[in-house]
Amino acid sequence: MNQYHEYSLEDFVLDARFQEWVRYRRDHDVTFWEQYQKENPAQTEEITRAQTLLQSVYKNYETHLDDNEIDFEIQELLSKVRAMKNDNVQEETEKSLFNKSANIFSQNSIFWAAATILLMLGLGWLYQRNQITQSSYDKLTAGKSLREEKNETKSSKTISLSDGSQITLMPHSKISFPENFLVEKREVYLSGQAFFHVSKDPKRPFLVYANELVTKVLGTSFTINAQNQALKTTVEVKEGKVSVFRQADFADVKNQKALQSKGMVLTANQKMVYECETSNMLKTIIDNPEIVSTVSTTFDFVNTPASEVLNDLEDAYQVDIIFDKELLRGCPVTASLSKQSLLEKLDIICEVIEARYEMLDGKIVVYSKGCKN
């Protein structure tokens, strides 16, 4: 009848009902366990010790969080969700944007080289947009009290900002910024190409307005290349993370947090292509992903399960690779892949395990039937 008779300390601490008793002291549990101890005095010592052990764990890891704090966060979440619901087009983007995060099987140990975000904002001059009579740069800077720096030379020019950030302005580019930044944010306006060393200040995001996009970082280094009146704008992240928004959305939403749902987050080796005509932001992998991890990996595999190989690639390149972990565990890979690019590595791996892969939404999806036969 009683499952607890054989229990030792180890069993008690792992028992859900026992845990609940120690943790929440609910009446019915208290009654139950007091009664139990009375009836089973021989186990009292084990129970007391188990109780002590659990108590100390609970005490040690207790987190204080007001219900009010939670309510506030939930409200904020819901306001973002509602804003999203009102914007179906955007929602579609978001849906595809995140459809991999569900991949609970992907490994995570990440070794970020933390220092540099290299962000390329390249432009395709496919054709001119007739409707733009005034450049977005001019529009944005008009009427504002800003200092403008132009680089008409043939070499780059370095500019220091009041917050300690440094900008390397490329030829035929110009940038505007206030002499002193606002307390809550740092805004600069770019036309052309520039490399940014942004001093770290998480409380004061650094925003670069370029063409119809706003790129947001908290502090790091990156490059933006943006000419006026281009049809396509691309943002490439080499390392780290940036958020990119449409200016329309950015201006629309007062609340910084509500904004997050509108933007696209790009991490290492991801690229975003923005098409002016449709206002679509499409996420993909950059053409030639580089290794981000600071931990050197040899990529020499001998009978290594393909699942581990792909995990190593995920870690090294910081790209999400979606695959069936269980299935690919049964696919041994023996290969030396240190010299190849990411895509070449994937080609070889897929060749070996008779799988194929696709780029989807800034992620890599590996399709396999397994190797059990």
Partner 1 sequence: MPTPTDSNQDDSELWNAFRAGDDVAFGKIARQYYRSLFSYGVKFSKDREFVKDCIQDLFMELWAKRETIGDTAFVKFYLLKSLRRKIHRESQKQSWLTDDDDLDFEAENLGESSIEQQIIDIETSEAMLKMLNQQINLLTKRQQEVIYLRFFENLDNESIAQVMSISKQAVANLLYRTIQELKDRL
Q: Which of residues 158-217 bind partner 1 (CB under 8 A)?
A: 200, 202
Rule CB under 8 A: say whether 53 interacts with partner 1.
yes
Rule CB under 8 A: say whether 280 interacts with partner 1.
no
Q: Nearer to partner 1 by C-beta: 221 or 234?
A: 221
What Rg do the C-alpha atoms of the chain give, in angstroms?
Answer: 27
The amino acid occupying position 279 is S
H or E element in which residue 318 lies: none
Rule CB under 8 A: say whether 104 interacts with partner 1.
yes
Query: 123: left (phi > 0), else alpha (psi -120 to 50), else beta?
Result: beta
Rule CB under 8 A: say whether 17 interacts with partner 1.
no
Rule CB under 8 A: say whether 82 interacts with partner 1.
yes
Q: Nearer to partner 1 by C-beta: 74 or 248?
A: 74
Q: In 10 A of CB 20, how many CB atoms?
A: 14
Rule CB under 8 A: say whether 251 interacts with partner 1.
no
Q: What residues numbered 258-277 form the site for partner 1, per CB under 8 A?
A: 260-261, 267
Which residues pair with residue 206 across a beta bridge? 186, 217
CA nearest to 218, candidates 191, 236, 198: 198
Rule CB under 8 A: say whether 303 interacts with partner 1.
no
Rule CB under 8 A: say whether 89 interacts with partner 1.
no
CB of 305 to partner 1, least distance (A): 12
Using DSSP, how many helices (H) and how many strands (E) does the chain show? 12, 19
Give CA–CA dist 248/298, Å, rounded. Answer: 46
CB of 12 to partner 1, least distance (A): 10
Q: Nearer to partner 1 by C-beta: 114 or 126?
A: 114
Give the binding range for partner 1 (CB under 8 A) out of 84-92, 160-168, 185-193, 269-277. Answer: 84-92
Contact present, 177 and 147 (Cβ < 8 Å): yes
Rule CB under 8 A: say whether 101 interacts with partner 1.
yes
Q: Which residue is listed with tokens 């028992």?
A: 15
- Going by DSSP bridges, is the β-strand pair 321-322/363-367 parallel, antiparallel, or unpaired? parallel
Q: Nearer to partner 1 by C-beta: 56 or 160?
A: 56
Q: Nearer to partner 1 by C-beta: 78 or 248?
A: 78
The amino acid occupying position 62 is E
Concatenate the DSSP letters of all residues of 62-117 into one string: -----HHHHHHHHHHHHHHHHHHHT-HHHHHHHHHHHTTTT-TTS--------S--
Q: Nearer to partner 1 by C-beta: 187 or 315?
A: 315
Rule CB under 8 A: say whether 109 interacts with partner 1.
yes
The correct pick among 31, 35, 85, 326 for binding partner 1 (CB under 8 A) is 85
Instruction: Give the number of residues in contact with partner 1, rule: CB under 8 A.
Output: 71
